[in-house]
């Protein structure tokens, strides 16, 4: 299997985008009624990538080292 820096960067970018979207959706689900959907989505999209992006980067690094 060929290793490509472009593929790893693409995986990291896609992971970042999906962690932002997931954080926004989770924020609306958890706090939408209390805070309002817009504020909850904004806060979720800010705090969502904190864990999601770190997990994606760690996963890509492990995949590069193993494969």
Query: What's the confidence (pLDDT) of residue 27?
Result: 93
Per-domain residue ranges of the chain = 5-66
pLDDT of residue 35: 92
Q: pLDDT at position 4, please?
A: 81
DSSP 67: -
**What integer pLDDT is reported at residue 1 of this predicted model?**
54
CA distances from 12 to 8, 32, 46, 58 (A): 6, 28, 17, 10
pLDDT of residue 57: 92
d(CA 30, CA 43): 11
Whole-number pLDDT of residue 28: 95
* Average pLDDT per block of 10 residues along the chain, 67 residues long: 80 93 94 93 92 90 88
């Amino acid at each position: 299997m060929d290793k490509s820096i472009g593929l790893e960067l693409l995986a990291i970018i896609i992971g970042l985008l999906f962690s932002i979207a997931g954080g926004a959706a989770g924020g609306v689900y958890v706090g939408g009624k209390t805070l309002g959907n817009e504020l909850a989505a904004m806060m979720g999209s800010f705090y969502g990538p904190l864990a999601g992006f770190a997990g994606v980067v760690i996963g890509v690094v492990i995949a590069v080292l193993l494969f």
